[in-house]
Structure 1
């Protein structure tokens, strides 16, 4: 578990927002989940995020979230940091989730701006401060106005960032100008990460520290290469690699996380099952995802051994094979 006094040097690059697999009975499939985590660890990520947006956290019970966090920590075995989603529109519940994550051994939590309630900036500040004083875990703030209907204003962010409890921001606004405004005003070591795969490259090129990503679940090595080329002063190579991922990023964004789960099903990692109110993809969307994956190429898409033994849904496999000829 990471202390709040430890600089978050590991909070950089592409960090996957890992989905939660479900089995045929609708229960969490911890074996498939461990496989997803291991795939990312082998690809060289510095951290993994679990039980958050892609993980359908809003449909998980507190006990399920705790089991998922513990499974991630057991799989990581100290090789990477584990960030636990612990957000809620109830401050009391967010505190409970944060404390559960701490007890389970998480290295940090990701805490989203309270949704649905439409709090004022004063309320948002008080919400996060209450969470901070309840736990010794470092907190990464999550600003995603398209889901919460309330933004984390620049002023509120700067006030929170003055506290050592807050180590970074997942910015899912897609607004690159915000990064340019904030970078020089934030404390040294405070990490700014994109939460939007489509704009992650310009975000990083303009001083961002990386991306908390959905597409990294599919092509982690390619994502890491985009980041390293951008940071090493090879923008043309980074742009080329990003262009190869663009159709898949667009397909995943349309119906997340169902599209992500379907993509991982095609690759043999998990079932495409989701929990209501999310439903599985229609055939046209399935074809779009399969086509986008096929276009990337085998050399940048890794599959687990199980794919060789036919552990895919028949309709998914048919779409995939049709796209690859």
Structure 2
């Protein structure tokens, strides 16, 4: 299914949230809450969502849960936002199964992370990506390069080899090498999305298509304004937005895992009624919630009470 916002320059939209997966207080998948979160995010500036990514606690959800979650989010916002299914695992067969399910559900795109922990050679990475992309049939693919978690980086020559694939159209970068990113954009034609919130403005200034963000759980509208400012060549405004958001970025990204802080932030905003996580991730402590609250208040995203 084609995204309602697809373009050659930004095939998945401009501001995407790596969306949390809500659970009930006893740890079960909460589809009503997921639809509420998805609608809130799209109502507040996000034109895309990534479901069942790392921030969605995908290592702890089953294939069936991933399918139900994807269908619920598509039902809630699929007519007005790009919905990308995270299908990357460290097992190619498992990822193929997830890609086939996502295609059947009507996902607008697939996010495939580098196989983690097993540290495959580049030939194995190339095989993994192409097999999973094939399983998605005609669904566009965004690769996800995050060596800090996967243990291995996608090599330049692997990107070049994949650039000819008709469905591999973008990559989410959490490597942070801007010079390499500029080279990849020029040499491969792949659209690059920032995958690290502190680097959003530098990536946009370098010509990135957009961002896949954790902080956009609370700052989607502000990031959309930043994207628009960069598009207009108004770097002064973009810098001002970036500086204003810095307390929220630091609060959500610097103290513990982003899924933990994002659920705490959504609870503070009244979007979620709990911040339940699945082990091994614990729910935010009161001290961590206070840090998030202070960051949101300082960034003008939450009123001081």
Indicate whether the TM-score tops 0.5.
yes
Alpha carbons of 1:262 and 1:48: their partners in 2 closer, same or farther (altered >3 Å)? same
Alpha-carbon deviations, 1:258-281, whole Å to 9, x = none? 011101110111121101000022
- Does 2:297 align with 1:294? yes
User: Per the alignment, do residues 144 and 51 of structure 1 end up closer, same or farther by CA in structure 2, a change over 3 Å counting?
Assistant: same
Name 2:251's counterpart in structure 1: 251
Mapped to 1, the partners of 2:14 and 2:294 lie a distance apart of 27
Deviations 1:14-72 (A, max 9, x none): 11111001111211111111111111222343321111111101100111000000001
State the TM-score, normalized to the length of structure 2. 0.93
Bigger CA radius of gyration: 1
CA contact (8 A) 2:46 2:216 kept: no
Contact 2:251 2:291 in 1 (8 A): yes
From 144, 147, 164, give the equivalent of 2:146: 144
Q: Distance in 1 between matches of 2:2 and 2:122?
A: 28
1:83 and 2:78 aligned: no
Aligned length: 299
**Residue 168 of structure 1: SS of its match in structure 2?**
strand
**Is the aligned partner of 1:242 residue 2:248?**
no
Q: 1:155 to 1:74 in 2, by over 3 A?
A: same
Provide Cα deviations, 1:54-92, integer angstroms capped at 9, x if missing partner: 110110011100000000110014112210000110000
Q: TM-score, length-normalised on structure 1?
A: 0.88
After superposition, where does 1:190-205 map in structure 2 within 5 Å?
190-205=190-205
Report if aligned partners of 2:88, 2:111 keep a CA contact under 8 Å in 1.
yes
Where do 5+ consecutive residues of structure 1 fail to align?
302-320
Mapped pair 1:99 → 2:96: no
Q: Which runs of 5+ in 2 are unaligned?
A: none
Is 1:51 the counterpart of 2:52? The answer is yes
Q: Do 2:14 and 2:48's aligned partners in 1 also have CA atoms closer than 8 Å?
A: no
Contact 1:10–1:46 (8 Å) recurs in 2: no
Residue 278 (1) aligns with residue 281 (2): yes
Aligned Cα RMSD in Å? 1.7
1:122 aligns to 2:118 (yes or no): no
